[in-house]
Structure 1
């Protein structure tokens, strides 16, 4: 290879010149970019507008009027905005009953950068007269129609002397129409409505004419969407009969009952607003059937029974008869349960039948039990009550630590009644739940002991202030029998733990038998609790529980637990985490639970 030193140095010089030019170009381009970026980042100063108006309308104006997006280019731009903001202000104030406002927009005196929007709203318009007229069947001269018309006029909210607002006017008309259309008159409509406002006198004259149309009565059901089930699964839930007068609330209750049924994914109930069929309007029921078989599994933990795992199976069309088969295998640290149950669908009077079998093993406070049970019952459920009467046979093997093992058998009759009236079935704030149970067996009918068990419980929620709740619970039970021996634990009583006496271990209060705690014949416990809700979902509680379970009233020794807790309205139900102190020993115990206990 030949070497030419002159050529090498020439090339190097040219490369150096080229590199210097590139650097100079990039430097100049960077300066241009920086200048361009600085220009983009520099924003014009915002236009400052001071609203001068009475406090009654100032917040409304501040919330809804449109402020200038950029400074005015010239006087023409300022004048155009002044016209625009004046029109906006007049329209906005009119919705609140101010129809003669004075609006002025201009520069603040001595400051060309600040503008003033000065508003004098003027007198507020009030209702002077109200005329509500009716057409259709409701306007006929019948005593019941006259009484209803008088009631509708008396319930009209915008009475003379009231402030006239557009929103109130629309709400009042809507409420009047709904009140008529929800009962009897499914095709009711407003044929004319006027609100004549006199700005000079600041008064409004209201007139409204409503045509009720004919009164509707129910006809036959027209059901679509059924393929797996027979029509009686829907007909048994109907709260009305053909020929009954139309009530929208009944349609909504009927629809809710179908939607809450496990047989359907969706349900819609309506009537066809056909005036020609008003004497027997068809009730249209459209449903979407759900899958009839379901398998589920879950994991959990309870401060009462420890860790839990379960698997369940349901068949809502058992044997093709729309019976509900439910089975459950639940494994807990202190309790293991397997059960299977078949429930019929409620009939037209809301009665249904249930047959079940259960095997359960427990190991609680040194008492081991192995229980086998079969039962048959008749039930009735309504919107506020539950009633059940049945018969069950069970065999129980007891192994108390430090005491002889025993086997108890009984054939018992059971009765259970519960009534509730609460504002919300998940997050209760007001209302009550009461229940009574009665059951017993006899030596003359396959029982090892004569006994009669009675039990009552009452829970009451009182709303305090805007969000807080005061809660009381009381329960009492007594088993009338010559002795507790020979009676299964289900018909005796123990106390302690969640929904009993916090601060004590689960079912730790009862009768000592060897080293174990077994059920006694007497029970009484109570709770007082106050929950202060810090937000809509989170709250703090203070509580006190008291009571005991014993074999005789003379052995009854009051136990007391108290403490503080946290509350959370979770998607699955109300969650409670409590730290409770046992009064006699000072022991602290943590309890937690989820869902309302009724």
Structure 2
């Protein structure tokens, strides 16, 4: 080793220990962060600008090298201009500035969107079989593009999507655009739209194959509302899928068009079903403030025979009332809407000094018409009853009845068991004649309604009302099941179940000839699954319309559970302030 190399090596060994502590003591350079500011646009324009602007990936983070920062800032001018074009702004002006200090670099974009480009002309040409389809003719007036309105590319794309969707829904399987374009004239700030849509021929329903069906084929065919050779419509297949899935006959249902096997504008339909368990058993404890503790035992035979007949039975035991019934159900001509049933039931009740045992058998005809439902019933009942220490009585009645209901509701998007807006209106009339298996003649009419209305995203208003009247040859011959009572969870809260009504000499509530109940409630969403409520109920039953109405007030909590709202209410009778607050617990839909 030469002397000069030895000298350098010694110097290096001596100096290294000195460098390291000195280097460790040097303060680190502060990180310069980037701040991007966008001015001149807001709302959806600003949102689209941000989605185009590449520089935003560094916003609030350490700034890139200066040369890259300047490159991205300049490129942002063009990106912003492109982001404004889908909204019809083709004459925008964009500029930027860069301000630097020790801790932050600010890139500021100033945007002038400029004048809007408007639609000067629309060339919409529809060819093929859809040219004569009234539904497509109506669609022309529903497209979100019109001459004279600002050009928005989203409306143009939505118009194309609406044409494609309607074609697919109505069986124009070969539909396509021959020409689709938007031409912008920058000079006069106008645009022309060209849409040439050829629908081709409309397909028809072909052969219908059903796999793995355990029921009679003729019975299952009653669920079909289309036949081979009819014009195709997706709605018919969806209706069939829903109808079959809601029967409980099947564990799974799949209805599908076989487009790959379509020939000569005819598409085969495949229906594949898997049988459900034939027998269904249920057992469950429960509690209700009207009934006390209860136990439910149930058995259903989902199909008794291959014609789809069903058997349903339940025994419900509680502190107040024991119930047992058997329901034999026969599907109607349109089984998804119509059904007949034969029912036998026994109700044994001991409550508030009323003892009653009811035996009833009935024939029922029920039909659904979209929002409407109507039920006709013929029933014969025998009831043995006693009010307090009064002698036990027995009565027999043959009672025809009819009930009509109209229901309309808008369900909450996040919880299908919660109603945002809706109403239910019902009317029920029943009668008997002493000339036909009845102890006395009577006519009874009950009208009821309930509404739910969303005032804001968090506030709702709920109201309900019920009125009833009975005209009877000898009212004293009517058993408790044919009289009116009030009070309880679904009546006048603050009072016990059927606590309100005319009383006999012993103070036992014997039921009234007239009924009037109303309720008003406000509830407020305090958490995603919780609401609180305030309410007031009014109501009573009596022998005259001039009966005094009992009044209550209360507060409550609602848990929006997966099976429906669970309500816990406490209410106080205003007319009887010495009575304690009463607790009410209910589960079920708002309507």
- TM-score under structure 1 normalisation? 0.82
Which position in structure 2 is the counterpart of 1:168?
155
Is residue 503 from structure 1 mapped to residue 494 from structure 2 by the alignment?
Answer: yes
- Are residues 542 and 190 of structure 1, via their aligned partners in 2, closer, same or farther at CA, if it must alter by over 3 Å? farther
Tell me, yes or no, if structure 1 residue 571 matches structure 2 residue 558. Answer: no
Tell me which of 123, 126, 138 is aligned to 1:134. 126
SS in 2 for 1:518: coil
Shift in Å, 1:358? 1.6
From 470, 480, 486, the counterpart of 1:489: 480
**Aligned to 1:411, which of 398, 420, 424?**
398
Equivalent in the alignment of 1:300: 286
Could you report, residue by residue, the CA deviation over 1:442-468 in whole angstroms, capped at 9, with x for unpaired residues?
A: 444333333332222222344434554
Counting only pairs closer than 5 Å after superposition, residues 17-416 of structure 1 correspond to structure 2 as 44-55=31-42, 57-62=45-50, 65-66=53-54, 67-69=56-58, 71=62, 74-82=65-73, 85-86=76-77, 88-104=79-95, 107-108=98-99, 113-123=104-114, 124-139=116-131, 145=133, 151-183=138-170, 185=172, 187-219=174-206, 221-224=208-211, 226-242=212-228, 244-273=230-259, 276-278=263-265, 281-348=267-334, 350-416=337-403
C-alpha contact 2:182 2:192 (8 A) present in aligned 1: yes
CA contact (8 A) 2:418 2:590 kept: no
1: CA distance, partners of 2:150 / 2:545: 69
Cα contact 2:350–2:356 (8 A) shared by 1: yes
Instruction: Summarize the alignment of residues 389-538 of structure 1 with structure 2, pairs less than 5 Å apart.
Output: 389-424=376-411, 426-466=417-457, 468-513=459-504, 514-534=506-526, 537-538=529-530
CA distance in 2, matches of 1:183, 1:73: 55
Question: Does 1:590 pair with 2:588?
Answer: no
Higher mean displacement: 346-355 or 75-84: 75-84
User: Offset of 1:63 from its aligned partner?
Assistant: 6.3
Residues 33 and 105, structure 2, Cα contact 8 Å, conserved in 1: no
CA RMSD of aligned residues (A): 3.4
8 Å Cα contact 1:86/1:103 also seen in 2: yes
C-alpha separation between the residues in 2 aligned to 1:233 and 1:394?
33
Cα distance in 2 for partners of 1:288, 1:484 equals: 54
Q: What TM-score do the two structures reach when normalised by structure 2? A: 0.83
1:13 maps to which residue?
Answer: none
* 1:542-592 deviations in Å (ceiling 9; x for gaps): 333222212x22673322223333344321113333332212112432323
Q: Residues 353 and 545 (structure 1 numbering): CA distance in 2 closer, same or farther, change over 3 Å?
A: same
Q: Please list the CA deviations of residues 76-121 of structure 1 after superposition, one character each: whole Å capped at 9, or x if unmatched.
A: 4334434654554344333433445455556316678413142435
How far 1:353 moved relative to its partner?
1.7
Pairwise CA distance, 1:507: 0.6
Which structure 2 segments of 5+ residues have no match? 1-19
Contact 2:514 2:545 in 1 (8 A): no
Measured against aligned partners, the alpha-carbon deviations of 1:468-521 in whole angstroms (never above 9, x if no partner) come to 443332222223223333333222111112222222211111232334322232
User: Quick one: which of 547, 553, 559 aligns to 2:539?
Assistant: 547
Distance 2:424 2:104 in 1: 67
Three-state SS of the structure 2 residue aligned to 1:254 is: helix
Q: How many residues in Structure 1 have an aligned counterpart in Structure 2?
A: 555
**Contact conserved, 1:410 with 1:488, CA < 8 A, in 2?**
no
Distance 1:597 1:487 in 2: 32
Distance of 1:448 and 1:316 partners within structure 2: 38
Please say if residues 187 and 275 of structure 1, whose CA atoms lie closer than 8 Å, have aligned partners that are also in contact.
Answer: no
SS of the equivalent of 2:191 reads strand
Is the Cα–Cα contact under 8 Å of residues 537 and 552 in structure 2 kept in the other structure? yes
Do the aligned partners of 1:325 and 1:340 also contact (CA within 8 Å) in 2?
Answer: yes
